[in-house]
Amino acid sequence: MSPQAGQLRRQVGLFGAIMIGIGSMVGTGVFVSIGIAAGIAGPLVVLAIAVAALVATCNGLNSAQLAASHPVSGGTYEYGYRYLTPWLGFTAGWMFLLAKSASAATAALGFAGYLSNMLALPSSMLILLALVAVLTLTGVVIGGIQRSNLMNVIIVSITLCSLATFVLGGLPSVSADYLALFSGLHAGTTEAIGAFLHACALMFVAYTGYGRIATLGEEVREPRRIIPRAIVATMLITTALYIAVSGVAIGAIGAPALSQATVGAIEARSAPLAVAAQRFAIPLISQVVAIGAVTAMLGVLLNLILGLSRVLLAMSRRADMPPVLARLNTAGTTPPWAVLVVGMVISALVLIGDVRITWSFSAFTVLIYYALTNAAALKLPAAQRLFPTWVAWIGLAACLFLAFWVEPTIWLTGLGCIGVGLAWHAVARALHQPAT
């Protein structure tokens, strides 16, 4: 059957949805943020990964039941409008656009960093490589979701193989006295607790790709059955992978060395796992990891462009963004103008973005976004609820709590951005009020 006017076709099944989720999560989170978080919390980053996974699981379950009950593009932006208030709905969409545009720029720079390290290219080519990646994948997404899905499956397969090689190849190098790596931690001090919670907030961002499944709700077949299963499967696979990778990396070279790989020139920031693999006894693993990192960053970038364009599409349908961005192509498979704008915004951020600041900013804005997701889940009617309300309460409290453990300058900037967004929302509403 043909889709309704202005509606996207349902073309994504369970396997495709899982691969989209993995492709969105297994990238910058595992190849970059583990090194950043290790510099903050030391070996306790492994525990931070587990805590972040628990918080993300609550959010994932709530995203699943919301998407199953309200399967349209836009994710929490749509849920906020439907179950909360227009202002909170807009805030959710605005936070998503800010957070994921910055994350996409980080992924593009991460891709350029790993590629330049692998090919021994000069650092002056980083920006150019990142821009080429953004523009190329923008063209892929404009071509429609079926083409995007095929490329995503290829990218995810290569990435998972490289990470499996890293884990298996690194096991012989893991310290025999692994638990001794945790000695010397000043557990219980205010500074250590704050550092641990900061690491939890940063690692939470590494899991937020599952939301891409929800934002594609309008394109998933049998959404009430497929979306919850895809989100749960994605979370389980990714958590196991993150813990295995971080455990091997820290066990092999220690948290200080892993953290050091994220300090200095931008090309070094994006290569902590490659640095760790260079210490392994088995040769060529660092090259395999570099190839996996390159494909992973491309996968994340592809899925971020896809998800951002769908949220922008949803916001444009309500005139929260220019209505021209809601136009679909003649086949009803993609919103080309929305995709093009997303590509332009990410390209601009590539020119000015900083990896560490961008990742922290993403942490704050994404946590606020998912706090609103959990708040919307609390408003679901009993007949549409798939999980108990305590899951939403835990997710809401945890998101709001962790959001303010990033640097004060970051969350203050984030609050300022919320104010700017709400001012724009007020202007947009005034301009599109029906004439009386």
In sequence order, which residues have a C-beta less than 8 Å from that of residue 216 and are 6 or more positions away? 12, 17, 20, 73, 145, 306, 307, 310
Class of residue 233 by CB neighbours under 10 A (exposed 0-12, middle 13-18, buried 19+): middle
In sequence order, which residues have a C-beta less than 8 Å from that of residue 102 and are 6 or more positions away? 349, 353, 358, 361, 362, 365
Residue 170 CA to residue 206 CA, distance in Å, equals 22
In sequence order, which residues have a C-beta less than 8 Å from that of residue 435 and are 6 or more positions away? none
pLDDT digits (tens, 9 = 90+) for 199-235: 999 899 888 877 667 666 667 777 777 877 888 888 8
Partners of residue 12 on adjacent β-strands? 220
Contact 326, 313 (CB under 8 A): yes
Is the pLDDT score of 173 beyond 80? no
Find, among 436, 405, 48, 13, the residue nearest to 246 by Cα. Answer: 48
Question: What pLDDT score does 200 carry?
Answer: 93
Is the pLDDT score of 264 beyond 50? no
Q: Provide DSSP, 20-87.
A: HHHHHHSSHIIIIIHHHHHHHHGGGHHHHHHHHHHHHHHHHHHHHHHHHHS-SBTTHHHHHHHHS-HH
Contact 224, 71 (CB under 8 A): yes
Confidence band (pLDDT; 50, 70, 90) for 394?
Answer: very high
Proportion of the chain above pLDDT 70, given as a percent:
85
Question: What pLDDT score does 216 carry?
Answer: 63
Largest CA distance in the chain: 77
Mean residue pLDDT of the chain comes to: 81
Q: Name which residue leads in pLDDT, 271 or 268.
A: 271
Radius of gyration of the chain (CA): 21
Question: What pLDDT score does 261 carry?
Answer: 61
Q: How far is CA 103 from the centre of its chain?
A: 7
Cα–Cα distance list, 191 to 194, 196, 257 (Å): 5, 9, 21
Q: Provide DSSP, 323-341.
A: GGGGPPPTTSS--HHHHHH
Instruction: Report which listed range, 61-75, 130-144, 348-362, is most confident.
Output: 130-144
Find, among 36, 23, 34, the residue nearest to 302 by Cα. Answer: 23
pLDDT digits (tens, 9 = 90+) for 97-126: 998 898 888 888 888 877 887 887 887 788
Question: What pLDDT score does 376 carry?
Answer: 93
Residue 284 CA to residue 296 CA, distance in Å, equals 18
Q: Which residue has the tokens 């295995």?
A: 244
In sequence order, which residues have a C-beta less than 8 Å from that of residue 45 and are 6 or more positions away? 34, 37, 38, 199, 203, 246, 250, 255
216: three-class secondary structure by DSSP: strand
94: three-class secondary structure by DSSP: helix
Q: Enter the DSSP assignment of 280.
A: S
Residue 343 CA to residue 350 CA, distance in Å, equals 11
Is the pLDDT score of 345 beyond 60? yes
Is the pLDDT score of 263 beyond 70? no
Find, among 223, 222, 238, 203, the residue nearest to 21 by Cα. Answer: 238
CA terminus-to-terminus distance, the chain: 39
- The first and second tokens of residue 123, run together, are 């650092």
pLDDT digits (tens, 9 = 90+) for 77-89: 888 888 999 999 9
Confidence band (pLDDT; 50, 70, 90) for 184?
Answer: very low
Q: Name which residue leads in pLDDT, 280 or 191.
A: 280
Residue 92 CA to residue 88 CA, distance in Å, equals 6
Question: What pLDDT score does 26 carry?
Answer: 82
Is the pLDDT score of 1 beyond 80? no
Which of 114-128, 158-172, 241-255, 263-277 bottoms out in mean pLDDT, i.e. has the lowest? 263-277
Taking residues 282-309, report their average pLDDT. Answer: 85
Contact 106, 355 (CB under 8 A): yes
Class of residue 383 by CB neighbours under 10 A (exposed 0-12, middle 13-18, buried 19+): exposed
Which of 136-140, 196-200, 340-344, 357-361 bottoms out in mean pLDDT, i.e. has the lowest? 357-361
Question: What pLDDT score does 248 carry?
Answer: 87
Find, among 231, 237, 242, 296, the residue nearest to 75 by Cα. Answer: 231
- The first and second tokens of residue 210, run together, are 């599952």
Residue 61 CA to residue 222 CA, distance in Å, equals 17
Proportion of the chain above pLDDT 90, given as a percent:
22
Q: Which CATH superfamily groups domain 14-422?
A: Amino acid/polyamine transporter I (1.20.1740.10)
Find, among 346, 323, 319, 337, the residue nearest to 109 by Cα. Answer: 346
Is the pLDDT score of 24 beyond 60? yes
Residue 40 CA to residue 147 CA, distance in Å, equals 40
Instruction: Report which listed range, 75-84, 184-193, 406-415, is most confident.
Output: 406-415
Instruction: Report which listed range, 99-103, 317-321, 374-378, is most confident.
Output: 374-378
Confidence band (pLDDT; 50, 70, 90) for 361?
Answer: confident
122: three-class secondary structure by DSSP: coil
